[in-house]
Copies of this chain bind each other. A is one copy, B any other.
Amino acid sequence: MSDFTHFNQQGRAHMVDISDKQETNRMAIARSSILMNKQVYEAIIGNAIKKGDVLAVAQVAGIMAAKKTPDFIPMCHPLPLTGVNISFQWDTSHDTYELIVDATVKTKGITGVEMEALTAVSAATLTVYDMCKAIDKGMTIGQTFLIEKQGGKSGDYYRKERRNDHGSK
């Protein structure tokens, strides 16, 4: 097996070795949202969507997606999640109808759960889109970002501003 032409691995993907990291309690909170028109908003609130109770389904979708994160995000490490909570808030203050979705994910593990929280809120907002798209395909999933992260060697993280913070004016 002489004369190998060693392939240049630079830049190729791998799942980073975290064998030496410590197992600690970790949590992360992520947020997404979905903007809709008044008709969709009223159908959700009035439980008049043909496919069923939108928020109940979105919540289950978010929790199940959190568990599937390492199957969804290629370089993400599998982690034994110890808790997932999805919550909803309506913001109707700007003549818009926005459903804000937060996910809190916890683990006792050797790496963080930021991706699980982000995946959970993404699945929840995508599920809202799916269940309401027969009324309006123009709904927009709003910005998706990490709000907070605790535990682990790199320390805690708290997002300074919650939205509209990268020039998306």
Contacts and interface: CB of A to CB of B under 8 A. Distances in A.
B159 A168 contact: no
Interface string A92-119: 1111101010000011111000110011
B129 A118 contact: yes
B141 A129 contact: no
B16 A91 contact: no
A53 B107 CA distance: 24
B165 A140 contact: yes
Interface centre among A1, A4, A21, A71 (most CB of B within 10 A): A1
Contact of A71 (B53, B67, B87, B92): B67
Interface residues on A, range: 35 or more
Interface centre among A35, A65, A125, A141 (most CB of B within 10 A): A141
Interface string A54-97: 01110111011111101111111111111111111111111110
Given A56-B12, A91-B3, A108-B19, A157 B137 contact: yes
Contact of A13 (B51, B72, B115, B167): B51
Interface string A126-153: 1101110110011111111110010000
Given A72-B123, A82-B17, A119-B126, A7 B60 contact: no
Interface in A150-169: 154, 157, 159-160, 162-169
Given A3-B93, A65-B72, A115-B133, 17 more contacts: A3-B91, A4-B90, A7-B88, A12-B86, A13-B57, A13-B60, A13-B63, A35-B167, A35-B168, A64-B64, A67-B71, A67-B78, A78-B80, A96-B168, A125-B144, A140-B145, A140-B168
